[in-house]
Amino acid sequence: MKKGSAKIKLGPIILISNYSNITTPDPTKSNMGGVVQRMWVAPISYFDTIGAPETVMAAVGDLAKITDTHTFLTGKGFHKFYLTKNKGGVKAEPAGEEDGKSLDYKFEGFTPGGDKAKRQMMAMLNNEKCIVLIEEAADMSIVNQIGSAELYASFNNSYTSGGTNKDLRGHTISVEAPTTYAFVYEGTITEHP
């Protein structure tokens, strides 16, 4: 053996592949696009504990899920917002430079109406740090979570009165957060009382 080198004896190593096969969609399950007509929003200040993503991978997909249920301070929970059908969707788009890429996890949708309370809430959310949950239409067990304890969701909401009597009046909801994975929340959704 050369000077300065050493033999290292390793115990049994269990390797889990980072990847699995990607096949055609299951014909017995819906692959329809879109989201359901609701979303949940909670300011970071409402939370007692925020569930964290899995850190150990036993199977492909484990690192993209949050199984711990978020808990809230007394009298707090997620606010439920109605969304107009076929006016929204979730995207996870690459961000950053080569060898340092992450994702911008985004949602854009529409909620109708222009009453004073809604105008105030939508404007205030533009300066609030939040966590947002949005279910997918084809499989409501897929609840997209935008924002986390460390990387909050931020809003860029806007209002339109519409230009003609054929147009919708209301708010375009636009929210995004940087993330490592397009996280799926598997905990219980506690709604604001």
Q: What is the pLDDT of residues 145-190, one digit of tens each?
A: 999 999 999 999 999 998 899 888 999 999 999 999 999 999 999 9
How do beta strands 89-95 and 130-136 pair? unpaired
Which region holds residue 132: left if phi is over 0, alpha if psi is between -120 and 50, else beta?
Answer: beta
Half-sphere exposure of 127 (CA within 13 A, CB side): 4
The whole model's pTM is what?
0.86
d(CA 64, CA 53): 7
Tens of pLDDT along 75-128?
999 999 999 999 989 999 999 999 999 999 999 999 999 999 999 999 999 999
State the burial class of residue 170 (Cβ atoms within 10 Å of its Cβ: 0-12, 13-18, 19+).
buried
